[in-house]
Amino acid sequence: MDLFPQYVILGNNVKIGKFVILGEIPRVEKIQPLEIGADTIIRSHSVIYTNTTIGDNFQTGHGVLIRENCVIGKNVSVGSHSVLERDVILQDNVRIHSNVFIPEYTCIEQNAWIGPNVVMTNAYHPLCSKVKECLKGPTIRSHVIIGAHVTIAPYVTIGENVFIGAGSVVTKDIPDNMVAYGSPARIIKRIDQLKCKTGIKNKNPYKSIPK
């Protein structure tokens, strides 16, 4: 493990695996310590930069990269080989599965669930000379479920309690309490119309958020 003590503040009971780098220094004018909350597990080969704040009960898989200026809440987990670029917000109870890419200026609100191999984007014109002036990743509202292998375009907002089916390409905003899938993703039904295909639950396993 590589640890830069002057740039890292650890809470109680933080467990750090082998070959972890904490406090990697970014190219910023002012260095702020990396703060990691209590009861955290950072697994092997993960790298976390300074100027980032992480709440209690956080855990990573193996080989996770978290860049600078990220704000991560409590009870968050980030799966193996996932990447959080700088200036990302993950609120409380967010679950990120493995091999997920989250670009700069993305916000994921509380209790969202992001499936494996999801790719989010933040640049409409990557080769434009002014691209850095208009970068903006998606906004994922609370209680959203994003299926595996979904791609989400820049500037898109996915509303509360939405379910995005596996393999979809989301290019437009999706309103609250909807199910959408396809390429491009289209609204198919309301989430309260879903049924449990396994038969384990008699009722809809996806409860709408009370308004």
CA distance 26 to 23: 9
SS3 state at 59:
strand
Active-site residue flag, 125: yes
The tokens of 46 are what?
Answer: 């993960």
Residue 87 neighbours by CB under 8 Å, 6+ apart: 69, 70, 104, 105
Looking up tokens 């898989």 gives 61
Selecting among 45, 81, 97, 125, the annotated active-site residue is: 125
SS3 state at 139:
strand
Q: What is the rounded end-to-end Cα distance, in angstroms, of the chain? A: 47
Q: Could you say which DSSP state residue 190 is in?
A: E
CA distance 54 to 78: 12
SS3 state at 200:
coil
Which residues are catalytically annotated?
125
